[in-house]
Amino acid sequence: MVEGWRNGVSRASHPELIAHAYFHGDIVQVRVPDDAVAGFLPIMEEVISPDAEVYDVTFEVFVRSSARREVQVDIGGEHSFSAVSLRQLHYWVPNLHKYARTPFVIVERPNDDTSLIQAYRGSVLQKPHDPITYALEVVFDSGDRRYVADPEPDDPALVADLIWDWIEESWDRLNELRWCKTDSSGQTSMVQSLDE
């Protein structure tokens, strides 16, 4: 399997996508560049047993390709990915402070450079024993419309779910939040939904 992939990407003149496999008993360690994960995971899942799991060692999370969506992910300006799963988001969001000095995640859809969703863990206004909150922001039209959740959610699982909803363009749960909108003129107003 890995050899077939390596030959295929070599023939296609993409040496940057080459995978390497190491065998340790029942465990197969495969190193794949992030740009190749979306194409490589389905191949791995065809050959592994149904009860096996694929484990992303970088962020200590189990992944399945069927649950991954192709998006651009930036974690703290230190890590970038071209796909994400809900399971990864659930692991990443509460641990943003462990991955980057600036604990934020930004998600953008491919072929859409005008909108994004981002979450920043913590706030400079929080006191040491206050619960951690997340500044959650949705941006449309290259920043002409910016929405900030108010109040900031304090449940990292909810924040992960809301990011996933945005990726899936599922607006019901997002529209249940109260939003503060800033338009291109700098005017700020409270709105009931993200389409106002």
pLDDT in tens, the chain (196 residues): 556 655 665 556 666 667 777 777 767 777 777 766 666 666 666 666 555 666 666 655 555 555 778 899 999 998 888 888 888 899 899 999 988 999 999 999 988 889 999 999 987 667 778 889 999 999 998 878 899 999 999 999 999 999 999 999 999 999 999 999 987 787 888 887 887 7
With respect to residue 59, please indicate whether it lies within any of the assigned structural domains: no
User: Looking at the structure, do residues 73 and 128 belong to the same domain, yes or no?
Assistant: yes
What is the pairing mode between strands 54-56 and 61-63? antiparallel
Whole-number pLDDT of residue 192: 78
User: Looking at the structure, do residues 96 and 174 belong to the same domain, yes or no?
Assistant: yes
Whole-number pLDDT of residue 56: 65
- Residue owning tokens 């992960």: 160
Burial class (CB in 10 A: 0-12, 13-18, 19+), 4: exposed
Whole-number pLDDT of residue 4: 62
With respect to residue 61, please indicate whether it lies within any of the assigned structural domains: no
Whole-number pLDDT of residue 42: 65
Could you tell me where the DSSP H helices lie in the chain?
A: 2-11, 34-47, 86-92, 96-99, 156-168, 172-175
Whole-number pLDDT of residue 105: 97
Nearest to 33, CA basis, from 78, 82, 68: 82
Whole-number pLDDT of residue 63: 57
Whole-number pLDDT of residue 69: 86
Amino acid letter, residue 118: Q
User: Looking at the structure, do residues 3 and 39 belong to the same domain, yes or no?
Assistant: yes
With respect to residue 58, please indicate whether it lies within any of the assigned structural domains: no
Residue 144's domain spans which residues? 66-191
Question: CA distances (Å), 108 to each of 27, 50, 163, in order?
Answer: 34, 32, 10
Tokens read off for 179: 């939003």
Whole-number pLDDT of residue 185: 80
- Residue owning tokens 């003129």: 185
